[in-house]
Amino acid sequence: MTVETEFVIADAVVASVAARAAAMTPGVVRLEPGLKGLVTAWSRAARQRWKGLDPAPAEGVRVRTAGGVVSVQVDIVTSAADQAAAVGQAVQRGVSRAVATETGLVVASVSVSILDIEPEVR
Amino acid sequence: MAVNQGYELPCDRNLELVWERLDLVGEGLADEHELTCPHCRTARESLLALREATAELVLQTEQPPPDLAGRIMSAVRAEVRRGQMLSLPTTEAGVVEVSEQAVAVVLRYAADAVGGVRARRCRVRTVGLGDAGESLVEVELTLAVSVRASGGSTMLDLVRTRVSAAAAARVGLRLVKLDLLVDDIYEVEE
């Protein structure tokens, strides 16, 4: 007898995986949470602390799931040592690969917004 | 992290000033600039929204998160920047975009690297989209040059080369037009 098991992966999990993949991409200085991200992260942190958990960071990442199609939006700050366009594309690739291998979900699109480029230290 | 010092909005007002004058403006004591400037208004709305949100959080949690002010300022800056984005070429599904202000910083930095030149203001404007989906941009860069600088036109040629190279190498944008405006000269203190 086989038992059918369904796995449901919450958007927050996808966001955490995506955030880690993006932050690890060479040329990315940090993720930029923005206003909405900051407030959401704080309320999520407060909720989880209350339950005795430390939340995995996902600031700067928004995940949308519609009809089984996952799309990810990442806001980052890059270093001027690397070409912003190349870093952006590397983040797109890294995030979709990480989400696919760690959650099994296929990401339809990853959009990257580079909000700041930090100059190299001379 | 230098987010707390001297961040200027596109209208040349300082974000810290907007923060200081937030209550004055709320009481109807706004100056003429504050009444009309869209950048100041965006920044003010963001700061007010955050102040409300943080006030709630302060009531909820025993301790505010570390580096609260820095993170708020960084978030507000990001919000102001999000308004004006340029698209960059990509072959993956989805969009890669960069804020105009980030590009302006990179280009000003490239011009500053030329001896005897100080970059002042940099305006970046999108005029269309290229084949790979990248924005075609026009740039207007205002400069001050040193009184001692000799060979003005060679120097400006060098600025032009450096700025175009920075746009391609550091950002991945193609400039279709680069205007250099020299609007001041300065004394060198030695």
Residues A85 and B171: beta-carbon distance below 8 Å: yes
- Among A44-53, B69-78, B116-125, B143-152, the range with the most confident prediction by mean pLDDT is B116-125
Residue B190, pLDDT above cutoff 70 = no
pLDDT at res. B151: 61
Amino acid type, A16: S
Task: Suggest the residue from A107, A115, A120, A122 to mutate for an interface test with chain B (most B CBs closer than 10 A).
Answer: A115
Q: Is B78 exposed, middle or buried (0-12, 13-18, 19+ CB in 10 A)?
A: buried
Residue A81 resides in a domain: yes
Subunit contact A88:B98, Cβ cutoff 8 A? yes
Name the pLDDT band for A112 (thresholds 50, 70, 90): very high
Q: Per residue in B29-59, pLDDT tens?
A: 888 888 888 888 888 888 888 887 777 666 6
pLDDT at res. B142: 92
Question: What is the pTM for the complete model shown?
Answer: 0.71
Tell me how far apart the alpha carbons of residues A102 and B60 are, in angstroms, rounded to a whole number.
34
What is the CATH number for A76?
A: 3.30.70.1350
Percentage, residues of chain B above pLDDT 70: 87
Mean pLDDT confidence for A67-71? 82
Residue A6 resides in a domain: no
Task: Compare B114 and A37 and report the one with higher pLDDT.
Answer: B114
Mean pLDDT confidence for A66-74? 85
Q: Is A121 exposed, middle or buried (0-12, 13-18, 19+ CB in 10 A)?
A: exposed
Residue A48 resides in a domain: yes
| Least confident span in A30-44, A87-101, B84-98 | A30-44
Go through chain B and tell me how many residues it has. Answer: 190
DSSP state of B64: P
Residue A5 resides in a domain: no
**B162-183 b/e (C-beta count within 10 Å ≥ 16 → b):** bbbebbeebbbbebeebebebe
On average, the pLDDT of chain A sits at 82
Kindly report the nearest CA distance between residue B190 and chain A, in angstroms: 21
Tell me how far apart the alpha carbons of residues A9 and B46 are, in angstroms, rounded to a whole number.
32
Subunit contact B88:A84, Cβ cutoff 8 A? yes
pLDDT at res. B1: 37
Residue A2 resides in a domain: no
Subunit contact B170:A83, Cβ cutoff 8 A? yes
On average, the pLDDT of chain B sits at 82
Residue B137, pLDDT above cutoff 50 = yes
Both structure tokens of B121: 């203001």
Enumerate domains of chain B plus CATH numbers.
Answer: 15-82 (no CATH), 85-186 (3.30.70.1350)
Residues B98 and B171: beta-carbon distance below 8 Å: yes
- Whose CA is closest to B180, among B91, B118, B88? B118
Task: Suggest the residue from A30, A42, A75, A82 to mutate for an interface test with chain B (most B CBs closer than 10 A).
Answer: A42
Bridge partners (DSSP) listed for residue B180:
B141
Considering only CB atoms, which chain A residues are within 8 Å of B171?
83-85, 117
Domain residue limits at A70: 11-118
> Which residue in the set A42, A88, A115 is minimally distant from B57, CB to CB?
A42
pLDDT at res. A51: 60
Residue A108 resides in a domain: yes
Both structure tokens of A61: 């990442």
